[in-house]
Amino acid sequence: MEQTSVAIAILWFFVFIYAILGSIDFGAGFWAFIYGNRADTRAASIANRFLSPSWKVTNVFLVLLVVALVGFFPRATFLLGTLLLLPVSLVLILLTVRSTFLVYAYSSEKYSGALKVVSGVTGLLIPGLLLSVLPVTLGGFILVEGGYPQLMLGKLFTSPTLYAHVAFGICAELFISALFLSDYAREAEDETTYQTYRNIAIVIGPISLATAVLATFAMNPEAHWMVVNMNANRMWFILSLIAFFIAYSALWWRRRDGRLGHPRVAFTGTILQYALASIGYGSAHMPYIVYPHLTVAEGFTNPSMFNSLLIGYSVGTIILIPLFYWFWRLFMKDKRYLKQE
């Protein structure tokens, strides 16, 4: 396997992991905001119970993603950093504000209301801004003058492609987070909250699928090449669609104890669905990082840097895996934490 293929696979893996963890993290913040003032449900309490320790882990993968991009593809970092200076800067500002409130608001009741608002608003804005990266990489919005790339913001903001991708990102975030929180509530033996998030997932699931299809058709005419390549890789998307229907149907499967729904099967199947679609999308995007200005081979670093990064990530993985497992046991499985009032 070529070094460029290994590097882009590692980078895409971190993109996928951060997309899933970020969806759960930001979605939990949004649901905590929505249900924060409701006295008839503990949905906000369950969301905050997950959110309190987990947002730090999500940011770890964001750092790993950025380091991988800068290390493996320095030219891509320069190009994307130039083109996406505005949305990336806004994301960093929002992440800073959100992290600040998450750190300090829990120690002071005075800021609990502000935390709900900040967490809810950023829970929608950050994923939307991050998804704006994808249309830019598909081509049609970049103008090169005098050797310097410029993003045609006017054309981008009037393109259906941008809004279709943003809509898909937000719907997918809310769907994944609702599925996860339904499983988290079931683990905490809170059947009422489980039903709340299960009902949300039932409503948003088909909408997320519809926005995914809409985002694909909205790529024309700026990214007709991508539509052609996705059609060539359609088997991945067919498998993804099958995984969605299996996962979605699991919300109606009856358990042995008579309770309705298998949220863990639904959540796991949905992750598989997005993994299959991600492979298809990534394969269709090859060999370009930014069409048609930069390919994977053109943006790749030198072999020495690649080998150093590969060793670093291998050692880091060996260290982090047991720590993540310990974290999972402490905050995702320990009944003393899950069932606290």
pLDDT at 108: 62
pLDDT at 201: 94
Residue 33 near residue 116 (C-beta atoms within 8 A): yes
* Helices (H), ranges, the chain: 3-34, 43-72, 74-83, 85-104, 112-131, 133-137, 153-157, 160-187, 191-217, 224-232, 234-249, 263-285, 296-299, 303-328, 335-338
pLDDT at 210: 94
pLDDT at 234: 92
Global confidence as pTM: 0.90
| Under-50 pLDDT residues of the chain | none
pLDDT at 335: 60
Side-chain-side CA neighbours of residue 33 (13 Å): 18
Q: For residue 223, give its domain range.
A: 3-338
pLDDT at 312: 84
Length of the chain in residues, anyone?
341
pLDDT at 274: 94
Structural domains in the chain (count):
1
The DSSP 8-state label assigned to residue 285 in this structure reads H
pLDDT at 96: 84
Please give the mean pLDDT across all residues of the chain: 84
Q: What are phi and psi of 294, to 5 degrees?
A: -150, 125
Angle at 180 between CA 178 and CA 183, to 5 degrees: 110
What is the four-CA torsion angle of 143, 149, 154, 160, rounded to 10 degrees?
80
